[in-house]
Structure 1
Amino acid sequence: MADFDTLLAEGASVPVEGWDFAWFAGRATEERPPWGYAGRLADRYRTAAAALDVQTGGGEVVRWALRRAGTVPGVLAATESWAPNAALARRALAPYGGTVALVADEDPLPFADDTFDLVSSRHPVVTDWAQIARVLRPGGTYLAQHVGVGTAHEVTEALLGPTPVAQGRHPAAAAAAARAAGLLVTDLREATLRLEFFDVAAVVVFLRKVIWIVPGFTVAAHRERLRALHERIEAEGPFVAHTTRYLIECSKPHRDAIG
């Protein structure tokens, strides 16, 4: 195994734009949820006339699903809040006629009411249910995979020490918020999944990409905690953490079904 300083330098140098995790092959593994989100999205694309992907990252999941679907909705749009990711997404979706709007995660969606019959999102940072309900057409569907409570909390505590688990990502809370926005929840399921890191460089890249796990993470500020984690991996083998994911699917009622 490479020495600590070499691994830190490697982890600090890897580009972190987009949601392509190919670099982690042989360095880290994450168990996949059993419902196959990207395959479900591909199925929806086969019948969607107008589709929006919210907080799309680099557009990687949308591109994969479009290839799997073998067809493209007549209108294909996405939003992304980080300019480097938005640039990647534009390149990824341009061959499919897709457009990508640079929009802060907390800002209103820049689309007219009743525009899309499919809105999707994989691992959104925030979810504005009122905006989703607004841009969906009556009868339209929201399909998403969200990050759940306590995801990678073992990593958080390895870098920060004992830390309360943030409680804002419960599936039941999301379902209640969706219903409050006027949507019908048609599917809701959750999974706890195994996450393994085989070296400290993989931890560094993970924390640089997934910035909410350790807010304000830098290699310099967390060097000694990273050293302890490196020594633990060398002595005990892969560092094991867990993620939670939940699938949520909602529909917007037809107007004659409201009230």
Structure 2
Amino acid sequence: MGTFEELVAEGAAVPLDGWDFSWFEGRGTEERPPWGYARSIASRLATVESALDLQTCGGEVTATAPVLPPLMAAVESWPPNALVASRNLPFVVRAPNEGPLPFRSSRFDLVISRHPFATPWAEIARVLKPGGTFFSQQIGAGTNRELTDFMMGPRTVGDGEDRSTHRARFEAEKAGLEVLRLEPAALRVAFFDVGAVVHFLRKVLWTVPGFTVEGYWDRLLDMHAHIQEHGEFVSTSQRFLIEARKP
């Protein structure tokens, strides 16, 4: 294990392109949701003729599916991620997270999205075929609040936060979709060195908005001391699965 300065420098130097978390192996863990998102989308992608992956990041998760439909489209807003995704998936276009989506109405049997920054419900309903399905694993309100509170001080988590399950149901039904499944999960997250914390905060931007190593140097020192004493820093990620159908 390196010194505090060495660990921080290492975490600050890891490239941020794509959505591959393999760098964390041996340095942090996150419990996986019980529904198995990658396995679930793989079984669905194998049975449809057309699918759209919203905010695909680097396309890494969707690319693990053994069978992709004849039309497999993806959208991504951030250019470095879109470049990675274009190497993993057959058809990737740039589009803003909030929409509009550059596809005609009733085009897709299936729309999927893992951890979207924003969910353009009206656009999802528009591009789905009648009887088509939206299947998404999303980030719940208060995710990793222990980490946020440690770095920034105690924060208030509002019940009406955009990624909460209540909000998701409301927005899906408002867009004319029928919610078939809505399942939350609280999952254990552990960081084993301060370098892993630095990389996570650089990559998952909403955890500590505006995070920089320099701006949070003292809190990182405290984090390093905490991990040295306890062997890890434990947080809780909030996830929920939503599946909705267009009538």
1:177-256 aligned within 5 A? 177-253=171-247
Aligned to 1:257: none
Distance 1:222 1:83 in 2: 28
Return structure 1 stretches of 4+ with deviation > 2 angstroms. none
Matched, 1:132 2:137: no
Deviation at 1:172, TM superposition (A): 2.0
Distance 2:117 2:158 in 1: 14
Matched, 1:83 2:68: no
Aligned to 2:29: 29
Distance 1:107 1:118 in 2: 17
Aligned to 2:111: 119
SS at match of 2:61: helix
TM-score w.r.t. the length of structure 2 is 0.97
Distance 1:182 1:107 in 2: 17
- 1:57-102 CA distance string (max 9 Å, x none): 100011012x2xxx22111100111100000000011xxxx21111
Aligned to 1:3: 3
Distance 1:162 1:251 in 2: 38
Question: 8 Å contact 2:99–2:123 — kept in the other structure?
Answer: no
Aligned to 1:47: 47
Q: Which residue type is aligned with residue 10 of structure 1?
A: E
Deviation at 1:236, TM superposition (A): 1.6
SS at match of 2:26: coil
Length, aligned pairs only = 245
Which shifted more, 169-178 or 241-250? 169-178
Distance 1:72 1:237 in 2: 42
1:155-166 aligned within 5 A? 155-166=147-158
Deviation at 1:166, TM superposition (A): 4.5
Distance 1:109 1:166 in 2: 29
Distance 2:77 2:146 in 1: 27
Aligned to 1:17: 17
- 1:81-138 CA distance string (max 9 Å, x none): 1100000000011xxxx21111121231111100000000000011111000000000
TM-score w.r.t. the length of structure 1 is 0.93
Distance 2:226 2:97 in 1: 37
Q: Which residue type is aligned with residue 177 of structure 1?
A: E
Matched, 1:73 2:65: no
Deviation at 1:25, TM superposition (A): 0.3
Aligned to 2:135: 143
Question: 8 Å contact 2:165–2:184 — kept in the other structure?
Answer: yes
Unaligned runs of 5+ in 1: 254-259
